[in-house]
Amino acid sequence: MKAFICIAYLGSVLLSFSTIRAQNVEILMTGGTFHKDQVNAQSGEEWYGLFAERHNYNLVRTTIQVTPGEWIEDKEGEKTGRIVSCDRPGKPLFLVRGIDGLSEREVTTEFHGKNFFYPGQRMQVEGGLITLTAFGTYQKNERPFSTGLRNYSVEYTIRGQDWHQYHLLAEYPVLTAEEGLPNLIWVGDLDNDGWVDMFWDLSGHYAVHIYTLFLSSLTKEGFLSSVTKGGEAVVKAAELKISIGT
């Protein structure tokens, strides 16, 4: 995966990411009503949607429609929210544009779901080459529905390197609510370079989503050259913060 330099802070959430290079990648979500400032798109634009179809995952070119919707802070009669829809049946995992060489094709997928990593839990991807691991501590006597999690982080390491040399994906001083946990949503080869990419919701806050796409093709020296030198395997390519509305 790739270098992590930039830092964004939201409430008790600390995210560490790399500087975005070269490609101007954007992501967009459908379903529900979003704040107007969180939809940087217009009706008639072409995006690529990642659609789950039975046991296959396909990138499909789609024309989007952006329509007004009721937002949680609207007064009576107002519709300041935005609803994003596609010109084809089904709901994509996410919409994306700006990746070099995007085309309609089947996308190799290793994982799709909603997985929160409890401290100590691991997942291997890329044939065991990459291991995702969570760290953290529990605070006793927390209030009801609180996670009690402190100093939580999600990191990864690469087989063949020093297993104690972890690369940080995200860290959180406190995870307060069970409804606001960071989750891995999808792992597969979106950019078609032969190596895994990842799509996360890294919010850690019950009222906000931070959808984040990591791409292997954005490593400075290419995936293999980077990981054989103990470098990153993926780089943050795009981030979309969404407040939960109606």
Residue-wise DSSP of 2-27 = ----EEEEETTEEEEEPPP-S---EE
d(CA 235, CA 169): 9
DSSP state of 120: T
Q: Give the residue with greater pLDDT, 82 vs 165.
A: 82
In this predicted structure, what is the pLDDT of residue 180?
Answer: 78
Mean pLDDT across the chain: 83
d(CA 136, CA 118): 8
Q: How many CB atoms lie within 10 A of CB 124?
A: 14
pTM: 0.84
pLDDT band at 15 (very low <50, low <70, confident <90, very high): very low
pLDDT above 90 (res 9): no
In this predicted structure, what is the pLDDT of residue 221?
Answer: 77
Domain residue spans of the chain: 6-243
pLDDT in tens, 47-58: 999 999 888 999
Choose from 34-38, 48-52, 225-229, 239-243 the range with maximum mean pLDDT: 48-52
The answer to whether the beta carbons of residues 97 and 26 sit under 8 Å apart is yes
pLDDT in tens, 97-154: 999 999 999 999 999 999 999 999 999 999 988 999 999 998 765 555 567 788 999 9
